[in-house]
Structure 1
Amino acid sequence: MTSHRNIDTIRAEFPLLATNPELAYLDNAAGTQKPEAVLKAMDAFYRTSYANVHRSVYDLSERATAQYEDARGRVAHFLNAQPQEIIFTKNATEAINLVAYSFGEENVHEGDEVLVSILEHHANFLPWQRLCAQKKARLVVAPVRADGTLDEEQMLALISARTKIVALTALSNVTGTRTPLARIIERVHQQGARVIIDGAQAVAHEHVDIRAMGADFFVFSGHKVFGPTGIGVLAARAELLETMQPFIVGGEMVKTVSLDNTEWNDIPWKFEAGTPPIAEAIGLKTAIDFIESIGWPHLHAHEQTLVEYALERVRALKGVHLIGPETYSSDRAPIISFTVDGVHPHDLASILNERHVAIRSGHFCAQPFLNALSYTAAARASFTIYNTHAEVDALIEGIAAAQKIFRV
Structure 2
Amino acid sequence: MGRLSGYVTVETTSLHKTALRNVAPQRIRGCPVGRRLAGVCVLLLMSLPACGQGGRQPGGELGAVGDVREGFTVGLLLPDEGPDRPLFTRALASLCPRCHVQYANAAGDRARQGRQIGRMLADGVRVLVLGAVDPGAAAPWVARAKLSGAKVVAYDRLANGPVDAYVATDPARVGREQALALLGAMKATGPVVLLNGPAADPYAATVKRAMHAVLDGRVTIGWERDLARPDEAAREVAAAVAALGGASKVAGVCCASDTVVEALAAEMARAGMAGVPLIGHGGRPAAPGWARAGTQTATVRPDVAAEATAAARLAVEVAGGRTVYGTAVVSNGTTVSIPAVLVPPAVVTKGPARGAPAPGSARGQGTRSH
Does TM, scored on the shorter chain, surpass 0.5?
no
Of structures 1 and 2, the larger Rg is shown by: 2
Q: TM-score, normalised by structure 1?
A: 0.34
| Higher helix residue share | 1
Larger relative CO (CA 8 A, sep 6+): 1 or 2? Answer: 1
Q: TM-score, normalised by structure 2?
A: 0.36
